[in-house]
Structure 1
Amino acid sequence: MSAQIQIDGLRVEVEGKEILTGLDLIVKQGETHALMGPNGSGKSTLAYAIAGHPAYEVTGGSILFDGEDVTEMAPDERAQVGLFLAMQYPTEIPGVSMTNFLRTAVNATREEDLPVREFMTNLRAGMADLKMDDSFLSRNVNEGFSGGEKKRFEILQMAMLEPRIAVLDETDSGLDVDALKVVSTGVNQLAGPDLGILLITHYTRILNYITPDHVHVMTGGRIVKTGGADLAEVLEEEGYEQFS
């Protein structure tokens, strides 16, 4: 049976202000969902709530993964069961090489450490897919990276960690067309029966390269409309005002 994340009546507060107001959503392995909405609708709040960010307080509802309530799990525990978040604004980690960071992360999500040779083979293959040259192996995590390089590294992490459900928070933000194509190709290569994707975006342009199975419109902290890929075309033409 494939894994799924099931969100029921989720309410989340940030600094005492309610952002999510009773959100329902199910994402299964093998499906790609696009979550769209205007700025301030709560999209990123949902992403961080799924990942377990401590600043985002769940005040109601539940997040079930494989039938287990994960709302009390620490972020690393959620990663171990197969959840992944690609952040909109990846942070720099001075003094920690990309290779050491990834090796530590990969081994933390496995029962046994991955042999070094196998790890490096997988890492180089993932970097090649994302057009990242070998100089990145010794560079510190996101330090001095361009916006596009940071987003490629997020997708590289996803490739290496092999999650069952991945949340991509505004992966397209700040990317030029060439970087967008590379990142989208990386996502498409990973998509398949073993990975469910929740792609959070404000604009429809990334959907020119990644075709979702389902599109959801979010306003006011909840999902107000769900449809197929053609719903994104409606949003491109008519905007979000009709849902406000």
Structure 2
Amino acid sequence: MAELLRITGLKSQVEDKEILKGLDLVVNKGEVHVIMGPNGAGKSTLANVIMGSPKYEVTEGTILFENEDITEDAVNERAKKGIFLSFQAPQEIPGITVENFLRTAKAQITEKPVKAIQFKKELTEKMKELDIDRSYAQRYLNMGYSGGEKKKNEILQMRILNPKLAILDETDSGLDVDAVKIVSKGVIDFKSEDNAIVIITHHNNILDYLNPDVVHVMVDGKIVDTGDISLANEINKNGYVKYREAKGEAEWKKEIKLI
């Protein structure tokens, strides 16, 4: 498989507090990766740093995307290259409809005009697949949406923008069983040999429907364990006990911000 993303020795901080502490990660095209870990491990920070959020300062290391160094690239430049981030807590944007937002975003990313009739047809098809009422296309982005509706709308954005790398941060959080099934199907339908997916999750909800190629455990700003779906099942059964025991109770509590 062709390599899509390579992160080497990545360190990042927020307001002089180091969160990522020398993280390494390789993602190939056609793969689904899952990143699990306790609260405070740095999972969402990693997602935002890959996307290029200016809130997070990279102090060391590199991010290569399709063998190109994007460590210093702005968010919009990374989006044009094919990176997408589904937010843990999607923002409400008054005054901008879902349809206008997605059509404008697609035009910006592809740098080509988006024909209205063709786009409406594509949007309608994708909304139907995700069980989203067509009327939501004319509603302001995430305004008055339930948590589940916001998460489904994030998957809709992914399907329309069709990135090379999709990073899904807690997409299954707060969803009921039916919504998890729909979101999972949206992810499965998106997956291909030409793209890759990184799923950040606390739960096994979405993993009941997906078969990830690689599962990573992240603790204290680093990936400390890697395996297959059996690793996720072990964590679901036993939690992070073995990592806590390896670190020692006092040090573990510091790392997950309990003291």
SS of the residue 1:225 aligns to: strand
SS of the residue 1:109 aligns to: helix
Distance in 1 (CA, whole Å) between partners of 2:70 and 2:241 is: 34
1:242 corresponds to which residue? 242
Q: Give the 5 Å matches for 1:9-24.
A: 9-24=9-24
How far is the alpha carbon of 1:47 from its aligned partner? 0.4
How far is the alpha carbon of 1:2 from its aligned partner? 4.0
C-alpha distance after superposition, 1:30-62 (max 9, x if no partner): 100000001110000000001111111101101
2:250 corresponds to which residue? none
Distance in 2 (CA, whole Å) between partners of 1:99 and 1:135 is: 10
1:175 corresponds to which residue? 175
Q: Give the 5 Å matches for 1:1-12.
A: 2=2, 4-12=4-12
2:165 corresponds to which residue? 165
How far is the alpha carbon of 1:6 from its aligned partner? 0.6
1:209 corresponds to which residue? 209
1:114 corresponds to which residue? 114
2:193 corresponds to which residue? 193
Structure showing greater radius of gyration is 2
Distance in 2 (CA, whole Å) between partners of 1:111 and 1:85 is: 19
Structure 1 window deviating more from structure 2 (169-178 vs 137-146): it is: 169-178
Q: Give the 5 Å matches for 1:62-77.
A: 62-77=62-77
**1:61 partnered with 2:61:** yes
* Contact map agreement 2:3 2:26 (CA 8 A) in 1: no
Distance in 2 (CA, whole Å) between partners of 1:123 and 1:52 is: 27
Please provide the CA RMSD for this pair: 1.1
| 5+ long unaligned stretches in structure 1 | none
* Contact map agreement 1:14 1:57 (CA 8 A) in 2: yes
How far is the alpha carbon of 1:29 from its aligned partner? 1.6
2:134 corresponds to which residue? 134
Distance in 2 (CA, whole Å) between partners of 1:205 and 1:156 is: 19
SS of the residue 1:25 aligns to: strand
Distance in 2 (CA, whole Å) between partners of 1:102 and 1:35 is: 28
The normalised TM-score by structure 1 is 0.97
| 5+ long unaligned stretches in structure 2 | 245-259
Distance in 2 (CA, whole Å) between partners of 1:171 and 1:116 is: 29
* Contact map agreement 1:216 1:225 (CA 8 A) in 2: yes
Distance in 2 (CA, whole Å) between partners of 1:194 and 1:120 is: 25
Relative to 1, partners in 2 of residues 1:139 and 1:209: Cα closer, same or farther, differing over 3 Å? same
1:45 corresponds to which residue? 45
C-alpha distance after superposition, 1:76-108 (max 9, x if no partner): 110000000000000000000110000000000
SS of the residue 1:40 aligns to: coil
1:92 corresponds to which residue? 92
2:232 corresponds to which residue? 232
Letter in 2 for 1:56: Y
Distance in 1 (CA, whole Å) between partners of 2:2 and 2:241 is: 36
* Contact map agreement 2:53 2:75 (CA 8 A) in 1: yes
Letter in 2 for 1:4: L
2:143 corresponds to which residue? 143
SS of the residue 1:21 aligns to: strand
Distance in 2 (CA, whole Å) between partners of 1:165 and 1:76 is: 14
Distance in 2 (CA, whole Å) between partners of 1:241 and 1:10 is: 26
How far is the alpha carbon of 1:168 from its aligned partner? 0.3
SS of the residue 1:132 aligns to: coil
Structure 1 window deviating more from structure 2 (186-195 vs 160-169): it is: 186-195
C-alpha distance after superposition, 1:164-213 (max 9, x if no partner): 01100010111111111111111111111122000000112211011101
How far is the alpha carbon of 1:160 from its aligned partner? 0.7
